[in-house]
Structure 1
């Protein structure tokens, strides 16, 4: 599945989380927050528009299994956010993160033993990339997410995910000289406006 299409589908997460947050957590969103969530989705659609590589058919180049995997990711992060908010707000951040990573590591370790070669070609690029994934994304970002869920409403925290595509597009423009079309810039402004509307009290 093209990365842009996968990102757009997972971009439904704030809306899905907000929809479930009402019945599961008792969170009530105002019309302004719903409008903000809708604007956020429109904004990331504009940002990702140039990266969508859908052919004549929706399933050109990938099968239903790819769609099922992306749907599982969408449901996992949405339901995980709600579960974290409902049952884990009293859990200490550091020890809670360690327990979650040990559980995930055990499951993925079994998968690696069964399906992977486990051969690594060490290089400076690999080490720097691995360091970024472990230290920044897996530790710092997840601890920040858990802290935000602990302090705020799940629907407001989820709306911040709409900032990921605009920030990624800016990083790609700055680091890799990727073009930043006018439509993408407009999408960034729409997404940021939507997030502001969704998180303001």
Structure 2
């Protein structure tokens, strides 16, 4: 199996484990503090990889700047907002359906900002994917006492999704060239520069040094920050951002399966039905179509 076929599968699996990691990480550190530590370690490891493999660094200051900004958007604001919101009491089910907004927002923005043209089947796929996520998680949402959920934290969670959509578009528009390894290194430098001061301002910066912390941090860095993010950058650069973003639809259902295994959370019939619909949506969005001459980014691939 080629990397082009394997990359989406690996990305969805690795990215979905972030939900489980967030639950484990909360036992050992405050959310933003853990993320700052994670970004610092990821930046150092990526830098070492770049040195060992002779990766080429950007030659123009603008390229450095764009890499830092994309890291602030994709990792700093996005994960920072989501992890902080969950730490404030936003249930994973609600955070999951908010995550389902991202492919829709990205698809709409991509058509306007980077010239992507969505076919009718792709538009239907994005819509079906969101409906599938809603079917999968809404029963859990309705089971939660709405008055117990901090409204401001929900707003922050939604804002985080807007930032990851913006970061994906920014990545496609300004970082379509250059070595992915050095781009990722600079992205984590940008994310760390934002997250560390934020952690200092809003948290006690609690860290409980233990084997559990190092195990959770190890997977967060190697599996997600390095593995999943490199795959995401590869997918964005290789194809349309709408197609890459649509894979996010598969993340909440898979995360629910992982949570059932790790924490004994219940899998429901609604969740399985919604997942099946989301899979159909992702297929429609990602299946090969012949781009028209005016189809923007797709026509230049």
What TM-score, normalized to structure 2? 0.62
Deviation at 1:73, TM superposition (A): 0.4
Distance 1:115 1:22 in 2: 37
**Could you say which residue in structure 1 is the equivalent of 2:159?**
72
Q: Does 1:184 align with 2:265?
A: no
Distance 2:253 2:133 in 1: 7
Superposition pairs of residues 39-118 of structure 1, within 5 angstroms: 39-53=128-142, 60-118=147-205
Distance 2:181 2:145 in 1: 48
Q: Does 1:2 align with 2:91?
A: yes
**Could you say which residue in structure 2 is the equivalent of 1:17?**
106
Tell me if structure 2 keeps the 8 A contact 1:11–1:161.
yes
Distance 1:20 1:119 in 2: 38
**Could you say which residue in structure 2 is the equivalent of 1:171?**
258
> What is the SS of the residue equivalent to 2:176?
coil
Q: Deviations over 1:106-158 (max 9, x none)?
A: 22222233444334212222221111111111111111111100001010110
Deviation at 1:180, TM superposition (A): 1.5
Deviation at 1:54, TM superposition (A): 6.2
Deviation at 1:175, TM superposition (A): 3.2
Distance 1:178 1:111, change over 3 A: closer
> What is the root-mean-square deviation of aligned Cα atoms in Å?
1.8
**Could you say which residue in structure 1 is the equivalent of 2:236?**
149
Deviation at 1:67, TM superposition (A): 2.8
Superposition pairs of residues 126-165 of structure 1, within 5 angstroms: 126-165=213-252
Tell me if structure 2 keeps the 8 A contact 1:47–1:184.
yes
Distance 2:208 2:225 in 1: 22
**Could you say which residue in structure 1 is the equivalent of 2:47?**
none
- When the two structures are aligned, how many residues end up with a matched partner? 199
Distance 1:169 1:67, change over 3 A: closer
**Could you say which residue in structure 2 is the equivalent of 1:26?**
115
Deviation at 1:98, TM superposition (A): 0.8
Structure 2 runs not aligned, ≥5 long: 1-89, 289-301
Distance 1:175 1:3 in 2: 14
